[in-house]
Amino acid sequence: MLDIQKIRADFPILTQKVNGKQLVYFDNGATSQKPKVVIDAITKYYEEINANIHRGVHTLSQLATDAYEVSRGKIQNHINAKFPYEVIFTSGTTHSINAIANGFASILKVGDEVLVSALEHHSNIVPWQMLCEKTGAKLVVIPMNDEGELIISEFDKLLSDKTKVVTVNHISNALGTLNPIKYIIDKAHEVGAAVLIDGAQAVPHLKPDVQELDCDFYVFSGHKICGPTGVGILYGKEEWLRKLPPYQGGGEMIATVSFEKTTYADLPHKFEAGTPNIAGGIVLGTAIDYLNEIGFENIQAYEHELLEYGTKRLLEIEGLKIFGTAKEKTSVISFNIEGIHPYDIGTIIDKLGIAVRTGHHCAQPIMDFYQIPGTIRASFAFYNTKEEIDTFVEAVKKAKMMLS
């Protein structure tokens, strides 16, 4: 059992009023709010140990380096990576995916295939399209059904010895669908394909075990899990990280440089060119500590309650249709009301202090599948309440009445 009021007291922004109304924040799929312990840790870094890392012999540099590497170790333990150097700090999920897609440009050739799912965020489509354009490889799409689930029988048929990469999100940001990634990973490995899992929407709700999953790459962003913006994680198996070329060149990622030849630094520095978001990297560890203290089993159970309650309450509204009704899903409800544009609903309920996301959620192919312009997406976190859902439902009813 979670003490929700105690948890809510950890988040200063939740006391805020928007347009004169108490804030109801249901845009957690876009970014999570930050607890005071994370905000304080950012301040503490800049007030006490601000210095560049890995390069200085002076005390502050050593303190910053130690804190940064301690955070890397926390993330290693959190996702159960085998080695700390398999954890690469990036600027976010998009950066992480681009780094791997760019690396495969040296491996793929004409006739090879990259499998992506129909449920992907643009960040896990566009880099692979660019890769295929560059190499002559073919982008192949794993189709979805009306419930918002991947058609796994079709995935099985699409796999072949031409398949070199399979890239799938763990959870759909637009629909909340929890994909059967363990099955997908195992089947892809049978044909020798590498697998990248986009975990951006999964890590707020569950604790991935990359060794148990046996994925080759797992990527996510800090700001989705109560951490700062501008920092993310690229996990890669050691064998793949050694095989792929670095994504960027510059300082930190080199062993030796001459005008004739450069040799690259060992992992993880090979993929960490330039001065990183040091504060972000350190404080991401703080955020993960905070969530682990609450407990991901507790978070999952409570968020499932919110999902069931929110689904039941919203379906009381006549003309409301939920998109994404997978048997396995997380606390995301994507919906429309017949005859009303989602943007109009979002604009009205914002005036009532309620933050949701409207549009295609950077998942335009999903909206094209349903032949709709977008949806209203309410995404719940462990600091939300059933009372907030009641307020939200009443606001949607009011907006419907005004727009009908």
Q: Average pLDDT per run of 10 along the chain, which is 404 residues long?
A: 95 97 98 98 97 91 97 98 98 98 97 98 98 98 98 98 98 98 98 98 98 98 98 98 93 87 90 95 98 97 98 98 97 97 96 96 96 97 98 98 93
Beta strands in 132-209 (DSSP E): 138-142, 163-169, 194-198
Question: Which distant-in-sequence residues (6+ apart) come within 8 Å of 294 by Cβ?
Answer: 2, 7, 382
CA distance linking residue 53 with residue 82, whole number of Å? 24
Beta carbons of 185 and 213 less than 8 angstroms apart: yes
Q: Is 257 helix (H, G, I), strand (E, B) or coil?
A: strand
At residue 376, φ and ψ (nearest 5 deg) are: -95, 125
Task: Determine the pLDDT at residue 204.
Answer: 98
Task: Determine the pLDDT at residue 265.
Answer: 87
The residue among 84, 141, 133, 79 whose CA lies nearest residue 104 is 133
Task: Determine the pLDDT at residue 62.
Answer: 95
Question: Which distant-in-sequence residues (6+ apart) come within 8 Å of 133 by Cβ?
Answer: none
| Helix residue ranges, H only, 144-227 | 152-158, 181-190, 210-213
Task: Determine the pLDDT at residue 252.
Answer: 84
The residue among 393, 396, 377 whose CA lies nearest residue 385 is 393
Of the listed 132, 215, 226, 362, which one is catalytic?
362
Domains along the sequence of the chain with CATH: 4-30+295-403 (3.90.1150.10), 39-292 (3.40.640.10)
Global confidence as pTM: 0.96
Task: Determine the pLDDT at residue 304.
Answer: 98
- Active-site residue 362, yes or no? yes
